[in-house]
Amino acid sequence: MGEADIERLIERAATLICEAARIVVFTGAGVSTESGIPDFRSPGGIWSKFDPDDFTIQKFLQSRKARETQWRLLAEGSLLKEVEPNPAHYAIAELERIGKLSCVITQNVDNLHQRAGNSPQKVFELHGNMRWVRCLGCNVRFPIEEVLKRVAMETVPDCTLCHGILKPDAVFFGEALPQAVLSAATSYSRNCDLFVVVGSTLVVYPAAYMPMYAVESGAKLVIINLTPTPMDTCASVVIRARAGEVMPKIVERVKSNLAET
């Protein structure tokens, strides 16, 4: 895809955003990797270093040793890196600021959309958020930094309120997606008029149903991803490029177009 082709597609995507009234942005690992977070599935990703079977919800609940291993890895920083939002995150937050975003639906668990400036109420995290820890007994959430301070002494920290099991607030293998979040994301997808995919291969379900719901309901589809996706043939615009390079250009074009109207 040449530079002229990308510029033409950027203009087309910006036009669709300007024309739309109910816009959903859907983000995947391709956005996080540009902040230095390894993709879980790619070579060098998390699952090339750790066994996914050790991260099932069943093992976490049944085995104190499994919980100890995971808390140790978190405390050492093996599963949790201190990273910053990248230009794609800031561009998506800018869409909200200028009134061209209904919500963000994300497969990522890094909290970077909120740190970039998106309202937490407008970010639906299908796979949870690793910056928080939830008590499975009383359902109270704690900042993960607060819990990690206790790991060196307690090995497996429990809830300070009810002594229940504490679990990182991300979806583990074998665990259902948070129902309220999934329901809200589905509703926004079915009722949008433009659905913008950024950095997702759309192969992880049920998250990948969201663009399907949008297209089935008559919404137009924009896909920005380095590799092909199963939904490319349904899209009005497909841009094969890095999210951090393309999204700021699209948003600047949107702002320029809106200023002229």
Catalytic residues: 127
Q: SS3 for the chain, per residue?
A: CCHHHHHHHHHHHHHHHHHCCCEEEEECHHHHHHHCCCCCCCCCCHHHCCCHHHHEHHHHHHCHHHHHHHHHHHHHCCCCCCCCCCHHHHHHHHHHHCCCCCEEEECCCCCHHHHHCCCHHHEEECCEEEEEEEECCCCCEEEHHHHHCCHHHHCCCECCCCCCEEEEEECCECCCCCHHHHHHHHHHHHHCCEEEEECCCCCCCCCCHHHHHHHHCCCEEEEECCCCCCCHHHCCEEECCCHHHHHHHHHHHHHHHHHHC
